[in-house]
Chains A and B, each alone.
Chain A
C-alpha cells in the first residue's frame, strides 16, 4: 500500500507570493492533517480535514488555508508569503474513528526568500 505522498518535495518562493502544497493520503484514509515544523517552534498543527470538511484548526493566520477533495486528497495554500513561513510542511493521514494513528508524508520543504 502506498504511503502518504506530498508534492513538491522542495519549493523556493519569494516574499509576497503564494504557494500551494499537495497531499495524497493512504488509500482508504479519510482524515488529512497538516503540520508546520520549524527549528524554533517545533511541530505545530495547522488544520485537519475529514470528508471534505475542516474539522479542526490551529492558531495560524488566515493566510494559511486548506481544502480536501472528494478523493480525500488535500491541498494547503499560503498566500502573501513571509520569510517566517519557511518551514517543513508535513501532511498526515489517518483512518479516523477507532484507528487514531497518523501516518506522515516526507514533507514539503518551503523556503521563502
Chain B
C-alpha cells in the first residue's frame, strides 16, 4: 500500500535559519505530491504541488520543494524561517490506481515546525 513518511515529528529552527522538512513516498510510479500547512484550529492550506512538470516547485510564503524520483523524496525548504512559519506541515500524495491518480490523498503524520526568536 502507498505510504508517506515525514521524518521528524518536530523540527525546531531559529528565526532566519534554513527550514528543511523531509518527506518520502512509497510507490514505483510517481504520484502527484503536495505540501500543506495547518495553523491551530484551522483547515489545511496548500503550499505547493508537484504534478510531473518541473522538479523544483515554488510555493507560497517563500517555500519550495524538490521532487527527486531516484530518492522518492519531496522535501520542503525555505531559506529563512519567520516566526509566522510556526505551524504543522503535512506532505500528501494522491492514491494511485495502476498508474492513474485518484482523488484520494494519503497524508504523512505531519511535522510541527517551531521557530525560535
Residues of A within 8 A of B (CB): 4, 6, 31, 33, 35, 42-43, 45, 48, 50, 55-56, 58, 90, 92, 94, 96, 100-107, 109
Interface size on B, residues (CB 8 A): 25
26 contacts between A and B (CB under 8 A): A4-B43, A31-B103, A42-B109, A43-B92, A43-B105, A43-B107, A45-B104, A45-B105, A45-B106, A50-B103, A55-B103, A56-B95, A56-B102, A56-B104, A92-B44, A96-B103, A100-B32, A100-B94, A101-B34, A102-B34, A102-B105, A103-B46, A104-B36, A104-B43, A104-B45, A106-B42
Using A42-B110, A101-B49 as known contacts, list a sample of 16 further A-B pairs with CB atoms less than 8 Å apart, ordered by residue number in A: A35-B105, A42-B109, A45-B95, A55-B102, A56-B95, A56-B103, A58-B104, A100-B49, A101-B34, A102-B34, A102-B105, A104-B36, A104-B44, A104-B45, A106-B42, A106-B43
Q: Indicate the member of B45, B94, B105, B108 with the most A CB atoms within 10 Å.
A: B105
Residues of B within 8 A of A (CB): 32, 34, 36, 41-46, 49, 51, 90, 92, 94-95, 101-110
Of B43, B51, B102, the residue contacting A105 (CB under 8 A) is: B43
With a cutoff of 8 Å between Cβ atoms, the chain A residues found around residue B95 in the complex are 45, 56
B112 to chain A, nearest CB (A): 12
